[in-house]
Structure 1
Amino acid sequence: MASAWQMALSALQRNLDNGDKRTDPWLLVYSPVPVALIFLVYLCVVWVGPRLMKHREPVDLKAVLIVYNFAMVVLSAYMFHEFLVTSWLSNYSLLCQPVDYSTSPLAMRMARACWWFFFSKVIELTDTFFFILRKKNSQLTFLHVYHHGTMIFNWWAGVKYVAGGQSFFIGVVNTFVHIIMYSYYGLAAIGPHMQKYLWWKRYLTSLQLVQFMLFLLHTGYNLFAECNFPYSMNAFVFGYCVTLIILFSNFYYQSYLSKKKQK
């Protein structure tokens, strides 16, 4: 038993040491332990939070939400710019792009963009805390918790092993979607009088579904193309996108199509 445990630890250590040496020193990157602890705290808050708030009044977070959401718009716009410009200057291929593990200025710029994208997923866990404090428990769906909780692991692995290459495609598309999404949330936080300008809420879900379909097609192509990018990473992203398409499609149906039929 002890020998098997030592072998497992040795295999884990080799796996950690085989990461991207450029990103290993960066915050939260070298080991999955800090991210795992963040995830466990997140799950505890999701479970305990609504119970603690059950007999309390919702917290008024209007000013906080306005600042937070528009700050996320700025961060998303920055990351979108970095992914787009760096990939353009580096002559990235849209269909198949290996990771440049060098320390050239452009390669490091892309790696930093990937790290910021990963860290933004940690920041976005705050969305859930705001729901809990405002007693918006109907928003704490399996889709919400699953999507937020798993993204930090997905992009930890991205920064740890493939900080660049065709990962940029996910970064470009997702940050563009988040510019629109957090703009909506920021405007909605201003007050009820903004609702008449926010008729396009349902199209946010459609846009999210379109991005997942793009990711599915992109990674699906690379599963069969001869591309010097880890096959395991493409296979994982492909499977993950399938789960998100199923969950978001169900959400869209329940939120819009099903209610329309009932009316």
Structure 2
Amino acid sequence: MLREIASNVVQLHTYVIQRTDDRLKGYLLMHSPVLMTVILLTYVILSVYVGPRFMANRKPLGLKTAMVIYNFSMVALNGYIVHQFMVWGWGTTYNWRCDLCDFSNSPQALGMVRASWLFYISKYIELLDTIFFVLRKKHSQITFLHVFHHSFMPWTWWWGVTLTPAGMGNFHAMVNAAVHVIMYFYYGLSAAGPRFQKYLWWKKYMTAIQLIQFIMVSVHISQYYFMDKCDYQVPVWIHLIWMYGVLFFFLFANFWVQAYINGRRLPVVKSKENGVTPASFKELENGTAPYLPNGKVLLSKVKEI
């Protein structure tokens, strides 16, 4: 039984390797799905189990300089990714409808392959978001949604880059990179300290931008279902992108309601008088809100301050 299962796994792995786009075989983390799967499983274990336990009896690290450098570096990286997507297709030859994958070795096709791979690699760099949370003991930020998104995105994108490194299937990557330019710019300012708080009044609009992102992705990919004919080479990727866009729209919409309408996302923290008081959004934004000794935060129904 075990021998048969092992044989089937080996056959599947061989098929995947043979199916991998030859143009990508020289790129980092594109040789096999095994290594990237191991990396992402290790990330989940470190984020959920090992990291919080390791930091349990240690003081949280500041990491202010490291976070500022990291966030603004991510602004530059994602800006470059958007530029590459535009140059090699979306701003030049693509019609934003039934754009097929170009599997040739033309400069444009190879440029789109590099842009897609670079977006894929950026998802691994973003795992540092969670590492910073762990080292700073911001355990409340390491939610199921956070870990799921950061691990599932690069895992699915290995298959996306392998099977469809171009065409209408990577529109959402360009949009996501553009949103990350804005997001990491905000985080960079927030990490820089209290003197930049006056420039962070637009925090709630970041969630609105995320919602607009998912609407754009879902509407764009939905065109596939209404065209008379679209011979996109891997239609299953179309269905997965549509489901991904819709799913995350509702998840982020729920966050918007809970955070800015119901006001249920504010933690309460210790005070000298009565033990706990609600932290303001400004304290949460710049990381100055204190946490309880066990690293956990309680939820409050206090409206936004």
Same fold (TM over 0.5): yes
Question: What CA distance in whole angstroms lies between the structure 2 residues aligned with 1:123 and 1:67?
Answer: 13
Aligned to 1:10: 11
Aligned to 1:106: 108
Question: What CA distance in whole angstroms lies between the structure 1 residues aligned with 2:204 and 2:302?
Answer: 17
Q: Does 1:227 align with 2:221?
A: no
**Cα deviations by residue, 1:10-52 (Å, 9 ceiling, x for unpaired):** 2432233112111122111121111111111111111221121
RMSD: 1.7
**Cα deviations by residue, 1:206-238 (Å, 9 ceiling, x for unpaired):** 111111111111222214432222110011111
* Per-residue deviation, 1:3: 4.4
Higher relative contact order (Cα pairs below 8 Å, separated by 6+ residues): 1
Aligned to 2:246: 242
- Written as runs of structure 1 = structure 2, the 5 A alignment for 1:143-158 is 143-158=145-160
Aligned to 1:124: 126
Query: Any idea what SS the aligned residue of 2:167 has?
Result: coil
**Cα deviations by residue, 1:73-113 (Å, 9 ceiling, x for unpaired):** 11011111110121156511201111001111111011000
Question: What CA distance in whole angstroms lies between the structure 1 residues aligned with 2:92 and 2:41?
Answer: 38
Question: What CA distance in whole angstroms lies between the structure 2 residues aligned with 1:259 and 1:43?
Answer: 29
- Written as runs of structure 1 = structure 2, the 5 A alignment for 1:243-262 is 243-259=247-263, 262=302
Question: What CA distance in whole angstroms lies between the structure 2 residues aligned with 1:10 and 1:74?
Answer: 41
Aligned to 1:140: 142
Question: What CA distance in whole angstroms lies between the structure 1 residues aligned with 2:245 and 2:90?
Answer: 25
Aligned to 1:37: 38
Q: Where has structure 1 moved over 6 Å in runs of 4 or more?
A: none
Compute the TM-score of the two structures, normalised by the length of structure 2: 0.82
Alpha-carbon contact 1:66-1:187 (below 8 Å) kept: yes
Q: Which runs of 5+ in 2 are unaligned?
A: 265-300
Q: Which runs of 5+ in 1 are unaligned?
A: none
Percent identity over paired residues: 43
Aligned to 1:26: 27
Question: What CA distance in whole angstroms lies between the structure 1 residues aligned with 2:180 and 2:163?
Answer: 24
Q: How many residues align?
A: 263
In structure 2, relative to structure 1, the CA distance for the partners of 1:4 and 1:129 (3 Å cut) is closer
In structure 2, relative to structure 1, the CA distance for the partners of 1:192 and 1:92 (3 Å cut) is same
Alpha-carbon contact 2:81-2:115 (below 8 Å) kept: yes
Alpha-carbon contact 2:86-2:92 (below 8 Å) kept: no
In structure 2, relative to structure 1, the CA distance for the partners of 1:89 and 1:193 (3 Å cut) is closer
Structure index of larger Rg:
2
Compute the TM-score of the two structures, normalised by the length of structure 1: 0.94
Question: What CA distance in whole angstroms lies between the structure 1 residues aligned with 2:59 and 2:302?
Answer: 32
Question: What CA distance in whole angstroms lies between the structure 2 residues aligned with 1:212 and 1:94?
Answer: 16
Alpha-carbon contact 2:169-2:241 (below 8 Å) kept: no
Alpha-carbon contact 2:169-2:238 (below 8 Å) kept: no
The one-letter amino acid paired with 1:246 is F
Question: What CA distance in whole angstroms lies between the structure 1 residues aligned with 2:161 and 2:90?
Answer: 20
